[in-house]
Structure 1
Amino acid sequence: MMSLPSRMAVLNYMNEHDSVNVKSVMEALKPFYGNEKQFNENLYLEHFMALEANGLVELASYNLDDKENLIMNYRINDDGREAVEKYVDKKYRN
């Protein structure tokens, strides 16, 4: 995953999971992207929102955590899966 742009890495990760949120994706991608200056929750939330705006993922559910923070869970859709198949080399797929 190290060679993928971070937004595509998010989509690639989502391709193998039913529902994810920003924190779970960041935890999984931290070994590959954690040292980047742009590795922060705000940017990764933007990744999710851009992927949703482009019709590749959809909001699956939302809830509040124990500190009353909004947690939004997303899932990849068929268009997102097609994008992964088309643009992500097999060696990078989860």
Structure 2
Amino acid sequence: MAAMPPMDDELKALQWRAWHRGTREADLMIGGFFDAHREQWGSQERDWFSGLLQEQDVDIMAWAIGAAEPPARFQGPMMQAMQRLDYLKAPK
């Protein structure tokens, strides 16, 4: 397995915010999404994720599982990737 490239300060800040949400479930969903996808992100994707992190965890999780429609500003390929939930590791 190849080592992940080092993160710049912006990505480190996003990582911290993604993994320190307040509940373990939100940490796993939002932090797991960050870990799985951050290597492919350019500035637009980073901006989208930064904006998403401003939202309430219950809203983000509802959008990710399809229980609620995300606002237009969060719709698109990034939300679709989050909604696949294929980045979550299920405990054994």
TM-score category, normalised to shorter length: under 0.3
User: Per residue, is there more helix in 1 or in 2?
Assistant: 2
Which of structures 1 and 2 has the larger relative contact order (alpha carbons within 8 angstroms, sep 6+)?
A: 1
User: Per residue, is there more strand in 1 or in 2?
Assistant: 1
TM-score of the superposed pair, with normalisation by structure 2: 0.25
